[in-house]
Chain A
């Protein structure tokens, strides 16, 4: 897999965003960003309202995903281009969903909404009309998703990558610094986890760093053993979807899972080991 299989740039989107068989999707938690202005022809997906089960803590199930994509007018063989705010956190999270449910023709707009805005490219408020489809998802690909028991069993024998900020990793903060500090019952990190904040994989404009820089970041600097399986986590699983994308899609590492329960689950579990303090 190469970069061009999983990433497009803004020029490509300007040239091809309206092509038949191409669907632009903005993914955010705060969808007021879309309502104020989005890339021409883009539809929106709300990270929480559309992609999470409304009652229990879990994803929409296969039928829910099929209903969502059918309603948005996305067909099985469409090429879906995802972008969003936060340096593409939620777009990467949605990308992971699409791959979980077997949609292979999916790419990210490198740099997401931020680079697009900083380059003063066109944003519109027209909402495109797309005919409903009859979308078919596959069963969830369990090779991409980690659950808590596997995470606990992985301590000491798999790469665990904690992609939160150093203060969250150390236990000094329970949430990112732009949010009030409410979260898990305990602060800290999973023993043996390496702290590689997601932001180290991105340039300031939100684009991904080069493959060589990424390999050096996770290998030489963080000490990940590329011969081992890897589980990435953060607080609720979207920043770690960004890192999952880097390791699995850009660097082509096999056996990389995203633990979407992440610290809000692990840090509230009774009896599991926790380490506090800075990374080594």
Chain B
């Protein structure tokens, strides 16, 4: 991806597992259905007031990643077939918060 743009690449921008979250508060995970990745869909991050903050298309492995501010967030998944799922998640600086969303 280009670092000059705003576009979320599928699955979100890459972060090195070895490097960890550094100064970032990372929320990342995978969307699955019956144990298989959901490769077409969107992950939306909503703030504690329910307002939209960011969205990424799911990666081919159903993955998503956000660089959030510390705090409590709602992750909402949209996928074909009117699929919707939500999870509440907290983000902390220097931490990678992982979650799997089964739809």
Q: A20 near B: Cβ within 8 Å?
A: no
Whether B55 pairs with A118 at a CB distance below 8 angstroms is no
**What bracket does the count of chain A residues touching chain B fall in?**
35 or more
Minimum C-beta distance from A48 to chain B (A): 5
Summed over the interface, the residue pairs from A and B with CB atoms below 8 Å come to a total of 105
Q: Is the interface of A mostly helix, strand, loop or mixed?
A: loop
Taking a contact as CB atoms under 8 Å apart, the answer to whether A30 and B10 are in contact is yes
Best-buried of B1, B52, B66, B80 by chain A (most CB within 10 Å): B52
Which size bracket describes the interface of B in this complex? 35 or more
Q: Is A249 an interface residue (CB 8 A)?
A: no
**What distance in Å separates the Cβ of A259 from its nearest Cβ neighbour in chain B?**
15
Q: How far is the CA of A121 from the CA of B90 in the complex (A)?
A: 35
Residues of the B chain whose Cβ atoms lie less than 8 Å from the Cβ of A30: 1, 7, 9-10
**Does the CB pair A47–B53 fall under 8 Å?**
no
Most buried by B among A47, A172, A175, A180: A180
In order of increasing CB-CB distance, the 7 nearest A-B pairs are: A29-B7, A199-B52, A177-B54, A178-B8, A29-B5, A178-B54, A120-B80
Interface residues, chain A, with chain B CB atoms under 8 Å away: 28-30, 32-33, 47-48, 85-87, 89-90, 114, 117-120, 165-167, 172-173, 175-182, 197, 199-200, 204-205, 234-236, 238-239
